[in-house]
Amino acid sequence: MKNDFENKPHTPSEGVNSSETPKGQIGFDQLLSDSFDEVLTDALGSRISSILWRQWSKSLGINPEKLSNHLPELFESIRTVFGTGYRTVGELAIRRAYAKANLPLDYSSNRPLLEYAQELKQILANRTKTEANK
């Protein structure tokens, strides 16, 4: 029997409670998974994007709602799927995530994409702490 995740198109923000972040701020996992989903959907279409998320969930345990637990596996999987084009896909998703968070991005192709994602996670965590202390 298939679970709900396998039976319907993937929407990364499903199941993510916006109240988990102060004042409705979008959380890191949702922000990054939405950004990757949008880039994959733009490049491959919604059906293929959904298939990729389903495959990553089944084979690697990558859960879009807890993406921060699986960043290295996600980036490696994208490298496997896209080969040398993985950097472009990753860069577009990182740029989109920073833009959604209203943060400037000083991008360098010499820096690993994983570092940008980890940096964004830390910035959002700090922002959440600051907002919680207000």
Report pLDDT for 26.
Answer: 66
What is the count of structural domains for the chain? 1
Report pLDDT for 130.
Answer: 77
Report pLDDT for 20.
Answer: 41
Report pLDDT for 97.
Answer: 96
**Residue 91 maps to a domain:** yes
**What's the domain range around 36?**
25-132
CATH of the domain at 81: 1.10.1200
* Angle (deg, nearest 10), helices 71-82 and 86-100: 140
**Residue 16 maps to a domain:** no
**Residue 101 maps to a domain:** yes
Report pLDDT for 10.
Answer: 40
In the predicted model, residues of the chain with pLDDT beneath 70 are 1-26
Report pLDDT for 24.
Answer: 38
**Residue 8 maps to a domain:** no
Report pLDDT for 116.
Answer: 94
Report pLDDT for 45.
Answer: 95
**Residue 2 maps to a domain:** no
